[in-house]
Amino acid sequence: MLVSIVLPTFNESGNILTLIQEIKENIPDGWDHEIIVVDDNSPDKTYELVKNTYSNDPKVVPILRTTDRGFAKSIRAGIEKASGSRVIVMDTDLTHDPVEIPKLLHISKYYDIVSASRFSAGGRMQSIRHYLASYSYNLLIRLFLRTQVQDNLGGYYVMDKEKLCRLPFDLIFFGYGEYYFRLLHFAQIEGFTMVEIPAFYRSRTSGTSKSRFFRMIFSYTSALIKLKLDAKNYRKEK
């Protein structure tokens, strides 16, 4: 079986090689892999670094995007390129630990989406401040969308590729981390099965964060409201 791991990068030259190495060490027996790095023309030359380091490894596939920069759009480009029966998506700042990959893949035999969650029992985050902020905002998402999922912003998951491609990409893959609650919401409408496994999210140690707290609160909240409307129209059209 082939798993495609999609890695969106922007200025992650200090993290990406370590991450690829850690991913390779955690691919379980019985699985083949491809690692798709989708870089948005990072000024720190992340794309060139990956391309040159892995020029002899066909399992590492760097993609360079030069227009329409964006986190969710990069993930979409990676998914569209993926040829595995499973797709794993993870951040590249080493917050998402590849040690979860064997568990994710194992459980993906039984569920359409398996999400690595900070908030299910046993899940944690290195940064308490970040944990509390995300936890509180997740309560709002859960109230609003009535989702059973505890971590709607984690963005570390595995999905069955064929099921994933049934989702309305144009209504999901834009903006930033809020794309993940859109994905989960449409997956719920489709009746896909999902489960969370507890995970520990590490703190970034190299490079800088691209997210801005107040901008995020504003854009995520408007995304929540718009999602309700989009999802209603989507249900009607089906």
- Cα radius of gyration (the chain): 17
What value, to the nearest 5°, has the Cα angle with vertex 170 and ends 32 and 188? 70
Residues 6 or more apart whose CB falls under 8 angstroms from that of 154 comprise 115, 116, 117, 118, 180, 199, 201
Q: Which is nearer to Mg ion, 109 or 212 (CB)?
A: 212
For ligand GTP, give the closer residue by CB, 14 or 168: 14
Instruction: Report if residue 151 touches ligand GTP, rule: CB under 6 A.
Output: no
95 belongs to the binding site for ligand GTP (CB under 6 A)? yes
* Three-point CA angle 178, 180, 184, nearest 5°: 125
Looking only at residues 188 through 227 of this chain, which bind ligand GTP when binding is defined by CB under 6 A? 204, 209-211
Which of 5, 6, 12, 27 touches ligand GTP by CB under 6 A? 12
- Residues contacting 170, CB < 8 A, separation 6+: none
For the CB of residue 116, give the shortest distance to Mg ion in the complex, in Å: 13
DSSP string covering 110-173, please?
Answer: T-SEEEEESSSTT-EES-HHHHHHHHHHHHHHHHHH--S-S-SS---EEEEHHHHTTS-HHHHS
Strand bridging mode 113-117 / 157-160: antiparallel
**Min. distance of Cβ 95 from Mg ion in angstroms?**
5
- Determine, following the binding rule CB under 6 A, whether residue 66 of this chain makes contact with ligand GTP: no
Instruction: Show the tokens assigned to 227.
Output: 């999602």
Taking CB under 6 A as the rule, does residue 106 contact ligand GTP?
Answer: no
Residue 10 within binding range of ligand GTP, rule CB under 6 A: yes
User: Which residue's CB atom is positioned nearest to ligand GTP?
Assistant: 209
71 binds, among ligand GTP, Mg ion, none (CB under 5 to 8 A by kind): ligand GTP
Tokens coding 13 = 């030259």
* Cα–Cα distance, 93 to 10 (Å, whole number): 10
- Which entry of ligand GTP, Mg ion, none binds 70, CB below 5 to 8 A by partner kind? ligand GTP
178 binds, among ligand GTP, Mg ion, none (CB under 5 to 8 A by kind): none
The contact mask relative to ligand GTP for 163-192 (x = CB under 6 A, - = no) is --------------x---------------
CA–CA separation, 167 and 160 (whole Å): 11
Q: Which does 92 bind (CB under 5 to 8 A by kind): ligand GTP, Mg ion, none?
A: ligand GTP
**Residue 90 near residue 96 (C-beta atoms within 8 A):** yes
The contact set with Mg ion (CB under 5 A) reads 91, 93, 95
Q: How far is the CB of 95 from ligand GTP (least distance, A)?
A: 5
**Contact residues for ligand GTP (CB under 6 A)?**
8-10, 12, 38-40, 69-71, 74, 91-93, 95, 130, 177, 204, 209-211
